[in-house]
A and B are shown apart, each in its own frame.
Chain A
Amino acid sequence: MTSTPSSSGNPGPGFRRPVRLLILGLGNVLCGDDGLGAVAIARLRARYETPEGMSILDGGTLGLSLLPYVEDAEKVILVDSIRAEAPPGSFVRLEGEEVGPAVAGRLSVHQVGVADLLDAARWRGRLPEELVLLGLVPETLEVGLTRSARVEAGLPGLVDRVVSEVSRLGFELHPRSHDAACDFDRSSDLARALGL
């Protein structure tokens, strides 16, 4: 093999995944409930340290630019707003093959979105070994930094569900000590500015 990009599709003998578990929040924090995934991530990061081998990211609405992060992970938990036949604020969990069709119809500000991301990974033979989507049913996607009351009420439960999912997948999150929670990295300043 050369050092140039490896082939299409076939992960190739040199391909390995440096991240064992990725927790990826999705959505636009400027569009009301659409940003609930990013909010859940900010709260998760404020409460827990990120252990070695795990990655907790706010992916926003970056679409295909998130491909390397998804492909680099053995297991992925997506956290997002999910349209479903259920009242706003309801918790939804999908896994494996169910995830693709669900995100294809995702309420999104981007046409090049999560579905394209998963398609591209599948095409390249690099879909994560395990894929789970956790989220809440949104109520409003109007421009604004605040979430609807129902989604806001559902958020603590969503964060807990993410934590249980992490355990189910065989990983463990350690709560931050009080001091560390105040100043763990620059992203916390930004999260605060954004009201997360």
Chain B
Amino acid sequence: MTHIVVDPVTRIEGHLRIEAEVDGGRVTDAWSSATMFRGIELILKGRDPRDAWAFTQRICGVCTTVHAIASIRAVENAIGAQPPQNARLLRNLIMAYQCVQDHVIHFYHLHALDWVDVVSALSADPAKTSALAESISDWPLSGTKYFAGVKGRLKTFVERGQLGPFANAYWGHPAYLLPPEANLMAVAHYLEALDWQRDVIRAHAILGGKNPHLQSFLVGGMATPIDLDRQASINDGSIEELRQLAAKAKDFVSKVYIPDLLAVASFYKAWAGVGGGVGNYLVYGDYPEDDGPNPPLFLPSGVLRNKDLSKVEKFDAAKITEHVKHSWYDYSSGDDKGIHPSQGETKPNYTGPTPPYEKLDGTAKYSWLKAPRYDGLPMEVGPLSRMLVAYASGHTRVKELVGDVLKKLGVGPEALFSTLGRVAARGIETLLLTEKIEGWIDQLAVNMHRRQLKIHDNSKWEPSTWPKEAMGVGFHEAPRGALGHWVHIVDGAIANYQCVVPSTWNAGPRDAQGRRGPYEEALLNTPVADPTKPIEILRTIHSFDPCIACGVHVVDARRNLLAKVRAV
């Protein structure tokens, strides 16, 4: 038996440590340990709840909008504010763009290098690469000269030893299966995706005022004015630009991302049998399609147990608990029972070894993340959960898109419960949202022309209109999964604030009953060809798109070190 330590896991946001036992070439047990951003509740205590989003927006650098949305929803829920239709549409657009950008960047910049061997691309034939690219898509950047240019640039950088973004990987590992031409095509698209994100950033700037941090969020609505006739607002010109940007986003996703995904997946079909995980899927649901309380959601909420697609359970927020038996915290009521986030406590109690250490004691506390559970069970959250719940709920377009992908890969729905399933679901969701965006823009345009310009419900703006004490929860389907903020307001000020973030659901440790978290469970039975180069572990962990940054305390991230891997 070999004990593997991967610390830090590279190409993620934040700091994650994975330990695994490998026996007979397969993972037999695993532990996921992460540092934790603790203290947001201390920062927020006593503050004006209407300002909370500006703080939570900074919890994570990459998902700024998601913590802003969850926060304003929590406060609106507590004080009874109801954002008007235009605010709902603007928020849907902002959320969808964030999700689309995140998924594309994850695929090309964080995950692709687990499947694509950049160094192998150096031996690609540009003419054959062009033929390959033209066989899978009519994307215009596909000529021999173009790919020869990319290859030349790659060669220059490799020769100078400036691998830059492509440093830190197991180039030449036998687990890489793509032909050189597919590798070169992927490298080209990696670089194109960096250009593509400009359009998304531009769309966010139109919708949310200034970038890089959006400033148009407002409890009760939005602060982006909508007016046909005014320059400094969303007007006919901006609607037209949004339409063009949406079309370009869809173009790239349907002509580059999805074909690449299918091409890569077709070489790695074995990964449809790896990385299944806990088999329970939780979705809070998002993208309200109507106004008022309990609107229909474009991506429905629901719970699936035990990989059973025949029955979608209704989600009940009261069934969420967080455990700290294996987390570096203490609960005043003891560590053997989970507690609901609305009553959440964050009392750190670090009992781990002094870093740097060889090995964690998996029987004791071993992570800064808590272990969230739903009805006592570990739940996977994220794009796979969303697509499965939508699929099982009979969502027409999701069923079509999932069916298409399964057919093209020649696999059945059971293939979805896997590492490859997560990768595919992320792509399907991206396409789904790029299609949906246009409709929301159209609705916004219709409202504008009907002179329905309201963007903010200010009836609950003044704290004098609030109850003396109020509790609220804000749910959001962030790119990485179900996100919840819980706020407790007393006398107009924040008394308690708790966030349960997607990566806590997925990356959290064992609970009081000793049940593994989703990462830990997903690693079981993962093949590991070479314990000193566990690329297979990275594939499964990266398939969840870890973002521990909203978790991260502080990390000394020296990115030029290859992830430290030790086989003990």
Q: A interface vs B, CB < 8 Å?
A: 2, 4-10, 28-31, 34, 57-69, 104-113, 115-116, 119-120, 122-125, 141-145, 185-187, 190, 193-194
Contacts and interface: CB of A to CB of B under 8 A. Distances in A.
Contacts of B146: 7
A122 B162 CA distance: 10
B558 A143 contact: no
A94 B154 CA distance: 28
Contacts of B243: none
Contact of B554 (A125, A141, A186): A141
B209 A105 contact: no
Interface residues of B, number: 66
Given A29-B58, A30-B59, 6 more contacts: A5-B195, A7-B146, A63-B13, A112-B109, A123-B191, A143-B40
Interface class of chain A by DSSP: loop
Contacts of B162: 119, 122
A124 B110 CA distance: 18
Given A9-B153, A111-B14, A186-B209, A64 B194 contact: yes
A102 B434 CA distance: 39
A105 B558 contact: yes
Given A6-B195, A28-B61, A120 B165 contact: yes
30 contacts: A2-B140, A4-B139, A4-B140, A5-B192, A5-B196, A6-B195, A30-B55, A31-B554, A57-B212, A61-B60, A62-B213, A65-B212, A104-B558, A104-B559, A105-B556, A106-B557, A107-B556, A109-B14, A110-B61, A111-B13, A112-B12, A116-B559, A119-B162, A122-B164, A123-B157, A142-B554, A143-B42, A145-B43, A187-B210, A194-B58
B58 A110 contact: no
Contacts of A115: 559-560
B10 interface: yes
A19 to B, nearest CB: 13
Contacts of B43: 30, 143-145
Given A9-B191, A109-B552, A28 B12 contact: no
A120 B58 contact: no
B141 A123 contact: no
A52 B348 CA distance: 49
Interface in B418-463: none
B37 A143 contact: yes
B62 interface: yes
Which 10 pairs from chain A and chain B are nearest by CB? A61-B61, A119-B164, A8-B191, A143-B39, A5-B195, A9-B153, A141-B554, A193-B51, A111-B557, A68-B198
B98 to A, nearest CB: 10
Contact of B62 (A57, A65, A68, A144): A65
B105 interface: yes
Nearest to B146: A7
B466 to A, nearest CB: 19
Nearest to A8: B191
Contacts of A111: 8, 10-15, 555, 557, 559
B150 A7 contact: yes
A7 B141 CA distance: 8
A101 to B, nearest CB: 9
B208 to A, nearest CB: 11
Contacts of A190: 54, 213, 215
B62 A63 contact: yes
B201 interface: yes
B153 A8 contact: yes
Contacts of B197: 64-65, 67-68
Contacts of A29: 58
B87 interface: no
A7 B472 CA distance: 48
Nearest to B102: A65
A31 B517 CA distance: 28
A30 B58 contact: yes
A7 B109 CA distance: 17
A106 to B, nearest CB: 8
A17 to B, nearest CB: 13
Given A68-B198, A111-B13, A62 B64 contact: yes
Nearest to B16: A111
